[in-house]
Amino acid sequence: QVQLQESGPGRVKPSETLSLTCSVSGGFINTYYWSWIRQPPGKRLEWIGYVYSSGSTKYNPSLNSRVTLSVDTSKNQVSLTLSSVTVADTAVYYCSRGYYEGDLGHWGQGARVTVSS
Amino acid sequence: DIVMTQSPDSLAVSLGERATLNCKSSQSVLDPSNKQNYLSWYQLTPGQPPKLLIHWASTRQFGVPERFSGSGSGTDFTLTISSLQAEDVAVYYCQQYYSIPYTFGQGTRLEFK
**In this structure, are residues B70 and B14 in contact, taking their beta carbons and an 8 Å threshold?**
no
CA proximity to B92, closest of B62, B63, B69 = B69
Chain B residues within 8 A of A94 when measuring between CB atoms = 49-50
Instruction: Find, among A93, A51, A30, A48, the residue nearest to B50 by Cα.
Output: A93
- Contact B105/A44, CB-based, under 8 Å? yes
Q: What is the pLDDT along chain A (117 residues), one digit of tens a residue?
A: 899 999 999 999 999 999 999 999 999 999 999 999 999 999 999 999 999 999 999 999 999 799 999 999 999 999 999 999 999 999 999 999 999 999 999 999 999 999 999
The Cα A53–Cα A1 span in angstroms is 19
Element (H, E) at A68: strand A67-72
Question: Using 50, 70 and 90 to split pLDDT, how confident is the model at B96?
Answer: very high
DSSP for B3-67 reads -EEEE-SEEEE-TTS-EEEEEEESS--EETTTTEE-EEEEEE-TTS--EEEEETTTEEPTT--TT
A61/B95 touch (CB, cutoff 8 Å), yes or no: no
Would you call B97 and A103 a contact, using CB atoms and an 8 Å cutoff?
A: yes
A103 contacts on B by Cβ (under 8 Å): 55, 97
Coil vs helix vs strand at B112: strand
Taking the C-alpha atoms of residue B39 and residue B57, their distance in angstroms, rounded to an integer, is 5
> Residue A90 is inside which H or E element, if any?
none
Partner B, chain A 20-39, Cβ-Cβ below 8 Å = none
